[in-house]
Amino acid sequence: MHILLVYCAVKPDKVGPFIAATIENARNSRKEPGVVRFDFVQQTEDPTRFSLIEVYRSPEGLAAHRLAPHYLAWAEKVPDMLAEPRTRAFYTNIDPSDAAW
């Protein structure tokens, strides 16, 4: 599996629009054949902080996602909503095994 965690800090007055835009992206992303999981979570202690937990079958699945119309619309829409640039980190799956997904 190819795992990507994305971290977003959102301007307080943009939380609602950010949630709406990101739900649209997440729902459509979960329909992509290369996507295993696409979760969107909000931090409890600071509701202006969000994470996307993205699991792809392969790096090619991520590449295809980045060309999808819903991702391109999200990527164009959200930068002005962010309090700081989003960050990301890639991970390698350990447990459960890839075959168990």
Is 34 inside any structural domain?
A: yes
99 lies in some domain: no
Contact 7, 78 (CB under 8 A): no
Judge whether 61 lies within some domain: yes
Total domains in the chain come to 1
Residue 66 resides in a domain: yes
Let me know if residue 23 belongs to a domain.
Answer: yes
What does the pLDDT look like over 2-46, one tens digit per residue? 999 999 999 999 999 999 999 999 999 999 999 999 999 999 999
**Chain-wide mean pLDDT for the chain?**
96
